[in-house]
Amino acid sequence: LFGFFDQFLSLKPLAATLSVYTLFMGFVIVMLEGQCFPQSIKKVIRSQAKFLTLVNGRGIFYIFVGTLNMAQNDFARTCVGLYMAVIGVVMFGVGVHSKGKLDHVRALLKDESVVRAAFNTVDIEGDNALTAEELGMLCTNLGSTLEPNELETALHSLDKNGDAKFRMMSLSPGGRATTRVDSSTKVW
């Protein structure tokens, strides 16, 4: 914020504008990653900036914010920008890898009765919804073991209403997902 005033007063409007953008985008990143923000804010982000709900989309956003920071002639901002860009590349890679594992599980979904039986076996609470742990057991039973970060990404990808649970109707036979996972993996 002080950088904005310094750049604005020294007649550097482009640098001041970049400072405002990076400040705003930094606030968005804190909201995305923070667990203490109300669901209403997350719903606005889901409806107005859907790409931020995808691991790949968020990774590209981080790369964009990182390059904006690196474009400013300041060593500290360049370092922060480089860090953000690297995190973005890693997030993009995790999204691609997790999507591959989900596609593997979907390829096994030829017979809905088999999937329903496996689902019911791991649905401990019997509420037709799986927690992250239960989803991990289901994937393992179907032949695809997920790492913890992949499991979290998969759960967010398959969670339709934001309650951190996977419901059987999120998948359909033949490997087609009814949620949006064809180009990326959903975050929340």
In the chain, the amino acid numbered 81 is G
- At residue 7, the pLDDT reads 56
At 86 the pLDDT is 96
Report the alpha-carbon distance of residue 29 to residue 60 in Å, rounded.
Answer: 12
Q: What are phi and psi of 172, to 5 degrees?
A: -125, 160
Distance between CA atoms of residues 96 and 145, nearest Å? 16
Rounded CA-CA distance 106/183 in Å is: 15
Write out pLDDT tens, residues 46-55: 788 878 877 8
Q: DSSP code of 1?
A: -
Provide the pLDDT for residue 169: 61
In the predicted model, residues of the chain with pLDDT beneath 70 are 1-11, 35, 108-109, 111, 157, 160-162, 168-188
For residue 56, the model assigns a pLDDT of: 84
How would you label 48-69 residue by residue, b for 16+ Cβ within 10 Å and e otherwise?
eeeebbbbbbbbbbbbebbebb
